[in-house]
């Protein structure tokens, strides 16, 4: 499947076959592709919590408006971000780069993020959003459906997954074998309304 077709056919599917299992090799492939998602300064601040324990999934469902895809999807990925990834051994993000690149970028990371908590959080949400799209398109190419989700109690889920204090949850992505067609698209806005050239 080419990228255009994956984009055109990806939909938020909410009905999954609860008996279907995604193979370990496919999970590794999905995660490997998600980890190629870009991040500012290459800080790779996303963290992917694979909620695989069924008891945990049932508890998450209780704080996610009882949405069936939480337990029925083959894979539930809780996308979180390390808000302090920028200060945790930043040299490792550029260890394979040429020395002049390292000399410039590694100090720049701290200069950009130090003392800017809102920027750190904004960056986390951007990074996780990009990674979520990568996951959904990769899943579509592999023949799976997906559903991006933010309908849950973020604090309650954080407790359930033992979220570190310097991390934040961005969203879920449920992935699996769809058993019901997505509803027709609700109504796309015109390109004239959403594409602005140069300025408003």
To the nearest whole number, what is the mean pLDDT of the chain? 96
SS (H, E, C) the chain: CCHHHHHHHCCECCCECCCCCCCHHHHHHHHHHHCCCCCHHHCCCEEEEEECCHHHHHHHHHCCCCCCHHHHCCEEEEEEEECCHHHCCHHHHHCCCCHHHHHHHHHHHHHHHCCCHHHHHHHHHHHHHHHHHHHHHHHHHCCCEEEEECCCCHHHHHHHCCCCCCEEEEEEEEEECECCCCCCCCCCCCHHHHCCCCCC
Q: What is the pLDDT of residues 150-166, one digit of tens each?
A: 999 999 999 999 999 99
The CA R_g of the chain, rounded to the nearest whole Å, is: 19
Binned at pLDDT 50, 70 and 90, residue 76 comes out as: very high
pLDDT, residue 182, reads 85
Residue 193 has pLDDT above 90, yes or no: yes
Q: Which class in CATH covers the domain with range 3-194?
A: alpha beta
Domain boundaries, the chain: 3-194
Spatial separation of the C-alpha atoms in residues 104 and 126, rounded to whole Å: 23
If you average pLDDT over residues 46-71, what whole number do you get? 98
Residue 184 has pLDDT above 90, yes or no: no
pLDDT, residue 183, reads 85
If you average pLDDT over residues 96-125, what whole number do you get? 97
Residue 1 has pLDDT above 90, yes or no: no
Q: Can you name the residues that pair with 175 across neighbouring β-strands? A: 75, 146
């Amino acid at each position: 499947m080419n990228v255009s077709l994956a984009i055109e056919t990806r939909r938020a599917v909410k009905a999954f076959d609860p008996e279907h299992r995604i193979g370990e090799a496919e999970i590794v492939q999905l995660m490997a592709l998600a980890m190629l998602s870009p991040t500012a300064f290459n800080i790779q601040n996303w963290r992917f919590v694979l909620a695989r324990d069924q008891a945990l999934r049932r508890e998450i469902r209780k704080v996610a408006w009882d949405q069936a895809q939480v337990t029925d999807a083959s894979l539930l990925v809780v996308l979180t971000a390390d808000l302090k990834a920028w200060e945790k051994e930043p040299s490792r993000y550029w260890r394979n780069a040429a020395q002049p690149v390292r000399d410039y970028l590694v100090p720049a990371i701290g200069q950009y993020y130090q003392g800017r908590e809102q920027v750190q959080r904004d960056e986390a949400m951007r990074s996780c959003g990009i990674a979520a799209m990568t996951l959904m398109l990769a899943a579509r190419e592999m023949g799976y459906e997906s559903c991006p989700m933010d309908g849950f109690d973020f604090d309650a889920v954080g407790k359930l997954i033992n979220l570190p204090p310097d991390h934040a949850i961005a969203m879920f992505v449920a992935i699996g074998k769809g058993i019901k067609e997505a509803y027709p698209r609700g109504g796309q806005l015109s390109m004239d309304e959403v594409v602005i050239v140069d300025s408003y």
